[in-house]
Amino acid sequence: MPYTYIYTNLGAQVVHLALEGFVPSSVFRQSILNVIEFIKAKGITAAIYDSRRMRSLPPQDQDWFFDEALPLLLKSQLRRVAVVEPSTGADTLNLNHMVYSNHFFMPFEMQYFGEVSSALEWIATGKAAKEEVGVAQQPSAVSASLHRQLLS
């Protein structure tokens, strides 16, 4: 059964979208639009897109994302986007060409991860670095309860 989970933490300015199963086009698109609206309305600066448990995404939904949703994201306050993807080459939304293209300007940093915990650590480290300019950040100092702290 397909599911879309949206977790938020306004204090940490993070939204986390996780997709599971064969998510229908209408659900995928509405979920993405809801997250974009939330990002804009609440001034969210970091996002996690987790597709590890998503089964497949039809090409027309991938095209829709790049043609319709991405331009909206590029106009948002986002500064960091973490993409958590499966280790297998599943037919999910492939954002790789955005990261490696010299012709595509993104006003936010984007990184790929295999686990949500690593993505949260990267987001938290970036926020800490912004708050304490010039202070070296130790990724290992991020606690195991980071997911609860950022998204609870």
Residue pLDDT, tens place only, 78-102 = 999 999 988 765 555 555 444 444 4
Query: According to the model, what pLDDT value does residue 95 have?
Result: 53
Instruction: Give pLDDT tens digits for 121-132.
Output: 999 887 644 443
Query: According to the model, what pLDDT value does residue 93 have?
Result: 54
More confident of the two residues 152 and 106: 106
More confident of the two residues 74 and 127: 74
Rg from Cα positions in the chain: 15
Measured between alpha carbons, how far is 37 from 69 in angstroms, rounded to an integer? 11
Instruction: Give pLDDT tens digits for 39-49.
Output: 999 999 999 99
Query: According to the model, what pLDDT value does residue 3 have?
Result: 83
Query: According to the model, what pLDDT value does residue 142 have?
Result: 31
Domains of the chain: 3-151 (3.40.50)
| Contacts by 19-28, CB closer than 8 A, 24 or more apart | 19/50, 19/51, 19/53, 19/54, 20/53, 20/54, 21/53, 21/54, 21/55, 22/55, 22/56, 23/54, 23/55, 23/57, 25/58, 25/60, 25/61, 25/64, 27/2, 28/4, 28/57, 28/61
Query: According to the model, what pLDDT value does residue 101 have?
Result: 45
pTM for the whole structure: 0.72
Query: According to the model, what pLDDT value does residue 149 have?
Result: 42
Measured between alpha carbons, how far is 125 from 129 in angstroms, rounded to an integer? 6
More confident of the two residues 105 and 37: 37
Measured between alpha carbons, how far is 8 from 37 in angstroms, rounded to an integer? 13
Query: According to the model, what pLDDT value does residue 1 have?
Result: 61
